[in-house]
Chains A and B, each alone.
Chain A
Amino acid sequence: MHTNIADTALDATSTKNIRLVDVEKKFNGQHAVNKLNLEIFDQELLVVLGPSGSGKSTALNLLSGLELADAGEIYFGPDNVTELPTERREISMVFQSNTLYPHKNVRANILFALKIAKVPQDVQEQRMNEVARLLHIDQYLNRRIDQLSGGQRQRVAIAKALVKRPKLFLLDEPFAALDAMLRRELRGELVRIHRELGTTMLFVTHDQEEALAIADRIAVMNEGELVQVGPPLDIYNRPVTTWVASFVGPHSINLLDGELQTDGGKGYVLTKAGRFGVDPGVFAGAGAALPSKRVVVGIRPEFTALSATPSADSVSAEVYSRQNFGSSVLYQLKANGADFRAVVPVNHLYDIGDRVNVEVSWSQTVWYDPDTRKLAYAAMDEAGPRAAVSPARA
C-alpha cells in the first residue's frame, strides 16, 4: 500500500473521517473540553496543539475512550462510538514516555494486542516483522525493555501501535521526554511512516515547532476550545487571533498597538515603537478590513530586516540584546522604549547598543481588530508565502 498525501490532497468528504460533534467534558465542574467540533480526515496526520490545560489531552482521551464525553457525539466513519469502550474502538496509542509492558520483551510487547485479538500466529509474525523493519528495531526483538534507550522504547511503542492497523493512531506528546536531536529524528520517522502507511493519526503536542514540522493540519486549542484548524502554513501566516499568533511561530511575534495614518498620499502605521511606512497594497487591504483606524499589527521577527541606514519606511531602534543561532541572529530591540524583536541572517552582526533601522516585510504581516483581538486582514494570500520570504534575504 502506497499513498501520497500532500497537504492539499486531504479528503474532507471521505466517509471514513472521524468526527467530534459538540463534544463536552467537565472535570470538577470545569470545562476541560467545551463544544468541540473537529473532523479528522481519513489518512491525515492531524496535530492538536495547545498549552497545558488547553484540553488537547482530554480531546485525545475522549477519542481513545479512556474518558467518556459528558455531551456530544464521536463518530468513526459512520459509527457512533461515543459510548464504546476503549478496547472496542480499534485505536492505538503512544504515551509520553516509557509506557511499555516492563515484564515482556520487545517481541511480546509488539505482539500483545494481536494476541488479545486472537490473530493467527503466522499473521502475527508477518505483521511484527513488517513493523519491526519499518521502525528499524528488528535487531532488538528479543531484548528486555529495560535494556533499551528512550528513543528505542518510543520506536517499539510506535511499532506496537502500528502492528494492529488501527483506525486511528493517537500519540500523546510521544517525543516530549526525548532530547532535541532524537526528537527530530523520530519526528522524521513518523512523517515517513505516515506517508508510507496512510494511517490516520492524531498527534497531541504543546510544541508549536513540532506541530508546524509534521502536521498535515493543525488544530489549535486553548482553554478547552478549538481556536483554529488548518494547514501549518495557514496557522503560521494567518493566525485568527492574537493569541494564536503569539503561540505559534519559532519566535514570539511583535504585536504592536497602532493607528493607521495617511501622510502625503502614503500609508503609515503609528505605533509606540515608531511610525512605519506600509506597503500601499497592504495598507489598503488592512484599511478596508478594519472597522476603525485603530489596529494591532502582527509582525513576525523573522519577516523583518535591519539596516544601518534609515529609509522612508523604517523605524529607528537600539540593540538591547542579541542571540546568535549560527545561521540567524535574534535581536531584542528598544524602539522609543518599546520592545521589538527581529530575526535576521548573520550577514552583518550588530552589537549591543548599536543604532539600527527596522524594515518590515509587509506582505507577511497580520492585522487585528484591537477590540476583538481577531484577525481582520492577513497580507499573505491563501496560497501561502510569496516567493521572497523576507526583504533581508531578497
Chain B
Amino acid sequence: MRKISRRKILVYGGALLLLVWTLAPIYWMINMSLSTTVAIGEGRLFPSDPTLCNYVRIFSDTFSCHTADGASAPVVGQAAAIRQGLVNSLIISVVVTLVTMIVSIPAAYAIGRLVFKHKVKILTTIVLSRSLPPVAVLIPFSSMYTTMHLQGTILGLIIIYLTLTVPLVVWILSGFFASLPPNIEKLARTDGCTRFQALYRVLLGAAMPGVSAVAAIAFLTSWNEFTFALILTPATDAQPFPPTLAALFSHVSYPNTNAAAALLAMIPVMIMAYVFQRRIRSLNLVGPI
C-alpha cells in the first residue's frame, strides 16, 4: 500500500510540476495581455484593471491604452502589417496542409501497406531529409529563390514549408497505416467494394484519426515556422505572422501589448491541441519500422 501511494505522489507530483512549467509562462502572458500594468515579476495573480485594450490596439493605428497612472501608451501603428501577417500565415498554413495531405496520403499508404523493393531505404531518405537544420539549406534556397523570383513570395514559402511537412507527415502516417489491421482492404473487396472504394471508403476511413492528427501537425508546422519566413520574406507583403511578431517586439517596447500579439499566434495552436489531443496521442509515433 505504502509503495503504491508513494508512486502515485511521484507521478502526480511530476505531472503537476510539468503542468506548472508549461502553463505558467502562458498564464503570465494572458495575465499581462489583459492588463496595462501587470509585468513579469510583479507577482500579481490577476490583473487589477482587466481590459482588452491591448488586443484592440495592435489592430488599430489610432487607438491607445491608458495606463493606471493616467498616462497614454504610444500608438502601435503596425495594424496593417499584423493583419497582413495573420492572413498570410493562414493562407500559407491552409495551402501547405492541403498539399501535404494530397501528396503524403498516397505515399504513406504505399510505404505503410504495400510490399515493394527498397521501401526502407526510401523511408529513411525521406526522414533524413527532414533532419537537416533549416539554417543549413537557407543559403542555397535563398539564392535559388532569387533567380526563380520566388524570394519574398507566398508561393516560395509554401514550397519550402512542404519540404518540412511532407517528410514528417509521410513518416508518421505510414506508421499509422501499417498499424491498421492487415487485410482490411481485402475484406472490403469481399464486402462488395471496388478497388477504389476499398481504399477510399475503408482504408482512408480507418486512417481518419491519424490523417486528421497529422493534418493538424502540418498546419502547426507551417503556422509556427520562423527561420525561413524571416530570411525569405523580410519586409514584404508575403511575410507571415511569426516574423511580423518579431518585428513588433523590437518596434514596440510595451510588454503587455506584445503579450497580446504573441497570444494571437498561439490561438490556433491551442485550439488544435485541444481538438486533436486524443488523436495525436493515438498516433504510432515510433514509425513503421
Contact = CB atoms under 8 A, between A and B. Distances in A.
Contacts of A66: 186, 189-190
Q: Interface majority SS on B: helix, strand, loop or mixed?
A: helix
A1 interface: no
Contact of B191 (A95, A103, A116, A170): A116
A11 interface: no
B189 A95 contact: no
Contacts of A100: 181, 184, 187
Interface in A63-109: 64-66, 85-87, 91-93, 95, 98-104
Given A100-B181, A113-B192, A117-B192, A95 B208 contact: no
B206 A95 contact: no
A87 B201 CA distance: 14
Given A102-B180, A103-B208, A95 B192 contact: no
B5 interface: no
A140 interface: no
B48 interface: no
A112 interface: yes
A66 B182 CA distance: 14
Interface string B172-194: 00000000111110111111111
A113 B191 contact: yes
Contact of B190 (A64, A98, A117): A64
Contacts, number: 68
B230 interface: no
B206 A116 contact: no
A86 B190 contact: yes
Nearest to A116: B192
A164 B193 CA distance: 13
A99 B192 CA distance: 16
B278 to A, nearest CB: 13
Nearest to B189: A86
Contacts of A164: 191-192
Q: Interface majority SS on A: helix, strand, loop or mixed?
A: loop
A64 B188 CA distance: 12
Contacts of B194: 85, 87
A316 B183 CA distance: 54
A100 B181 CA distance: 7
Contacts of B195: 85
A103 B206 contact: yes
Contacts of A117: 192
B14 interface: no
Interface of A: 64-66, 85-87, 91-93, 95, 98-104, 112-113, 116-117, 160, 164, 170
In the A-B complex, the 5 residue pairs with the closest CB atoms: A113-B191, A86-B189, A116-B192, A93-B190, A103-B206
22 contacts: A66-B186, A66-B189, A85-B189, A85-B194, A85-B195, A87-B189, A87-B192, A87-B193, A95-B186, A95-B187, A99-B184, A99-B186, A101-B187, A101-B188, A102-B180, A103-B208, A104-B205, A113-B190, A113-B191, A116-B192, A117-B192, A170-B190
Given A66-B186, A99-B184, A99-B187, 17 more contacts: A64-B190, A85-B194, A85-B195, A86-B186, A87-B189, A95-B187, A98-B182, A99-B182, A100-B184, A102-B180, A102-B206, A103-B206, A103-B209, A112-B188, A113-B191, A116-B192, A160-B191
